[in-house]
Amino acid sequence: MEIVNGNVRKKQNILVRLILSPEVGILIPLLILCAYTWTQNPRFLSVANFSVILIFATFVAVIAIGQSIVIMSGEIDLSVGLNAGFSGIIFGYLSVNTELHPALCILGGLMAGGTIGFLNGYLVSKFGLVNFVTTLATMFLCWGLAVTISGGRVQMPLHPGFMTYSMARPLGLSWSFFIFLGIFIIVEIVVRFTTIGRKIKAVGGNKEAAQMAGINVMRVKWGAYTFSGILAAVGGIFAAINMAGASPEFGPGIEFRTITACAVGGISFTGGAGSILGLGIGILFVNVLDNALQLLRLDVNWQLVITGFVLVIAVTMDIVKKRIQARNV
């Protein structure tokens, strides 16, 4: 009898862990959302509609990957949105106003974003400044620099090679999407299977314990912020190429979309837990939700209410999940 009860409890624990996993936890409501929207508007599940969702999800998605790494390390980066805008402006300015090779224009944008991330990491990890205040300050720094450098004007036209790139539709998608997919797979492998990923989660889970284990906490946090800055730049460059010009108005609000995607995708805001695969499903859920609400012709204000409600549920579920996991340890 004890063996039977033990097997039952074991199966129950496996089922609980499966349901509580970030991938399965968000996949179920995503499928329900897709099914409901399809019954109300059959155009929702068309190839053309999902191509649009994936193409436009790319810009925020690549930035959200960097944000997720920062959050896993126990921090947060509010500057990612305007850093993307600033990096896009640097890229656009170089492309429009200089005769540099297109690759060097891209490199300039990446260096701009990486510098902001490096500065965030330096101030937070070296001096122990509050991440919220620090990244809020660099957020406004990026905004001011973007407007000053651009003169408040869209930087266009870009190099003709970028136009050819933006208009290409391999498999009905975009080259930006496939670059994002490559970054996504690489980061998922690093986080899930390498020492670097284990260090990031260890630092986010318990900074003191990680330090006692010989992990350089400052270096991990610094690296996370720098990586986030570089991916913010990638998102900004993607957006500039897609819009055929770098706009100083691009960026505000993106930081909150990345935070929402992380929360929905199971990235724990207490640090130390989450997966890039779960984040990917979270990104898809957020963008599918936006598309579904538009197809259902809901008022814009109600769309904001529903998005906020989803975020509250995601954070609440994270708390509940941790309590259930603690009881099952």
| pLDDT score for 312 | 76
Q: Which residues pair with 246 in a beta bridge?
A: 155
Closest listed residue to residue 284, CA positions, set 39, 48, 47, 34: 34
CA–CA separation, 219 vs 238, rounded Å? 29
Give me the phi and psi of 70, to 5 degrees please.
-65, -45
Residues 161, 102 contacting (CB under 8 angstroms): yes
| pLDDT score for 266 | 83
| pLDDT score for 328 | 59
Give me the phi and psi of 98, to 5 degrees please.
-130, 170
DSSP category for residue 100: -
CA–CA separation, 221 vs 125, rounded Å? 6
CA–CA separation, 297 vs 157, rounded Å? 35
Q: Which amino acid is at 230?
A: I
Residue range 250-259, pLDDT digits in tens? 888 899 889 9
Give me the DSSP letters along 147-171: HHHHTTS-B-PPPHHHHHHHH--GG
Give me the DSSP letters along 85-96: HHHHHHHHHHHH
CA–CA separation, 23 vs 72, rounded Å? 16
CA–CA separation, 317 vs 26, rounded Å? 11
Which structural domains are found in the chain, ordered by start?
A: 23-328 (1.10.3470)
Residues 6+ apart with CB under 8 A from 266: 21, 22, 23, 25, 26, 273, 274, 275, 278, 279, 282, 318
Closest listed residue to residue 271, CA positions, set 226, 209, 328: 209
Distances (CA, A) of 241 to 48, 53, 115, 170: 21, 18, 21, 16
Residues 276, 184 contacting (CB under 8 angstroms): yes
pLDDT (tens place) for every residue of the chain, 329 residues total: 555 555 555 555 555 565 556 666 677 778 888 888 888 888 888 888 989 889 889 999 999 999 999 999 999 999 999 999 999 999 999 999 998 999 999 999 999 999 999 999 999 998 889 999 999 999 999 999 999 999 989 998 898 888 888 888 898 889 999 999 999 999 999 999 999 999 999 999 888 999 999 999 999 999 999 999 999 999 999 999 998 899 998 888 899 889 988 988 888 888 778 889 989 988 988 888 888 888 888 777 777 787 777 777 766 766 666 666 556 55
| pLDDT score for 86 | 97
Q: For 244, left (φ over 0), alpha (ψ -120 to 50), or beta?
A: left
- The angle subtended at Cα 96 by Cα 91 and Cα 102, nearest 5°, is 55
Q: Which residues pair with 155 in a beta bridge?
A: 246
Residues 110, 87 contacting (CB under 8 angstroms): yes
Closest listed residue to residue 288, CA positions, set 67, 19, 51: 51
Q: Is 107 helix (H, G, I), strand (E, B) or coil?
A: helix
